[in-house]
A and B are shown apart, each in its own frame.
Chain A
């Protein structure tokens, strides 16, 4: 008992990582973190607070950080508005939702099938292909915007629904994370199923998939963020207004906000920013623990 107590109160015990509960020695860490957290959090709070401000608070002088009389007017304004080219805002939102759902689904299938092969199948090029993918982790898409543009043009993908989806499917980080996660499943599990005569497709869908849910959640989040926030594809590859995304619509708002319709523009842009941000946040909150358990497999050797 005494030993237990002394252990609990000895500072050494708390030197360990991942303590069970609160201890006075942790206060200094909270103090270190406080300014950082404030700096990271303030703009996020601002996104929320700004979206609910009525016009007189949006343009108050001196400017107010927090909203005092919250209103939903910015949101109703946003959805009753037509873009300059006559497409209702709900259309952009619908496009974004549909594109994101399809891309996330497709990305999960594409990455997890490839990851299964690279982790649990035996073939000659296995190591080479994984090494290529590891090099591709360093790939910076923005650097090859021009060749990509030429390729999309030559494949007649310009101005199609597909061009929103396909470029995001080859995600080296995604493949890498799922592969590392599948490596954690013992080979015996797969071998036992093979002896029982299960086909690869059956092993993949019935054994592997249920065991790698955290990794799948992680890929879903990464793909979601990349797709939902993507305005470039609409800018570069899409001409017809009715195929563009909500993220793109927001860029038109922020760039014209300084122009003619300042008063209406600001409120709408603030509401649209919140709509852009909120799904990211909600999804991450739900999947945070899954993401963390995937990340512990993320090591790059």
Chain B
């Protein structure tokens, strides 16, 4: 009897020791991580999990969510005309031009800036970066005035003055112009962190590589970019690509901001983010909105995969 008690005691003691050892060894690391981990779980992990769970349900925020299997996804792919006819094509058009397009422009601008001496480079980098720090609100205040639909709008007045148009155009209310304006405005504000990272990456490249390259027969700058610059800054290229993808999808609200309402005129500027908002916050079909959210997250992941294929280190 006494023996067994002693035995259990020694076992618990051993366990305690193990735990103590672990605590001594790794406890402080987890202590340092704890605050971030907590916020990360509450505001990133749980929302994603909840979105995934809700996407399999019908939920109107009043009654409890009711499981309905894959029907949200099936409806999204087969019956949601607006999604298939407007939202998806719009999103693809918008994200291909703003994402890869903006990314190539950012790289090119970064490369050109790197050819200049420090002082003028810093000033020009500041100018290119500064639109990205204007908030969505400031953007709308500026661009709404530019593209205002009456003759007082700057763009209208300019075109009227040159007699290119006879009467003011309702730029932001016209389905045929809205998407183009959205793309211009988003590109304007897209030289952000990724652009700075690529600029820093180009500047970090060891100049001897270029000398070696010219000995190996590289004869023009284009070859230099393809064979030396990009391969030596792949990590920054990948970081820039990820930032470009995220900010592209994050910029989805721009059409609603510019046109002044959700849905946008004839769904011309409707992006997947607006579709989520439309179903979630306007129609309270949370389950369906969650399915669209999950689709969006999958799209981001897919694009990032692609970027990884292009620039990831081969392991």
Q: Within 8 Å of chain A (Cβ to Cβ): is B128? A: yes
Contact partner of B200 (CB less than 8 A), chosen from A133, A144, A225, A298, is: A298
Interface residues on A, range: 35 or more
The answer on a CB contact under 8 Å between A281 and B133 is yes
Do A138 and B152 form a contact, CB below 8 Å, given A269-B141, A295-B199? no
Q: Within 8 Å of chain A (Cβ to Cβ): is B37? A: yes
Q: Within 8 Å of chain B (Cβ to Cβ): is A87? A: no
Q: Within 8 Å of chain A (Cβ to Cβ): is B92? A: no
Contact partner of B40 (CB less than 8 A), chosen from A33, A36, A136, is: A136
In angstroms, Cα B124 to Cα A114, docked, is 34
In angstroms, Cα B161 to Cα A63, docked, is 11
Interface of chain A residues 260 through 292 with chain B (CB within 8 A): 269-270, 273, 276-277, 280-281, 284-285, 288-289, 291-292
Interface residues on B, range: 35 or more
Interface of chain B residues 214 through 244 with chain A (CB within 8 A): 214, 221, 224, 233-236, 238-239, 242-243
In angstroms, Cα B109 to Cα A154, docked, is 46
In angstroms, Cα B24 to Cα A122, docked, is 12
Instruction: Report how many A-B pairs have Cβ atoms within 8 Å.
Output: 309
Q: Within 8 Å of chain B (Cβ to Cβ): is A20? A: yes
The answer on a CB contact under 8 Å between A110 and B35 is yes
The answer on a CB contact under 8 Å between B293 and A146 is yes
The answer on a CB contact under 8 Å between A143 and B36 is no
Do A114 and B50 form a contact, CB below 8 Å, given A43-B188, A295-B196? no
CB-nearest residue of chain B to A221:
B133
Q: Type the 1/0 row for B175-218, where 1 means its CB is closer than 8 Å to any CB of A.
A: 00000000000001001010011011111110100100010000
Q: Which residues of the partner chain B approach A101 to less than 8 Å between Cβ atoms?
A: none
Q: Within 8 Å of chain A (Cβ to Cβ): is B304? A: yes
Q: Which residues of the partner chain B approach A195 to less than 8 Å between Cβ atoms?
A: none
In angstroms, Cα B290 to Cα A147, docked, is 8
Q: Type the 1/0 row for A12-36, where 1 means its CB is closer than 8 Å to any CB of B.
A: 1001111111100010011011001
Interface of chain A residues 110 through 168 with chain B (CB within 8 A): 110-111, 113-114, 116-118, 121-124, 126, 129, 133, 136-148, 150-151, 155, 166-167
Interface of chain B residues 88 through 140 with chain A (CB within 8 A): 109, 112-118, 120-122, 124-131, 133-138, 140
Q: Within 8 Å of chain A (Cβ to Cβ): is B58? A: no
- CB of A217 to closest CB in B, whole Å: 13
CB-nearest residue of chain B to A228:
B135
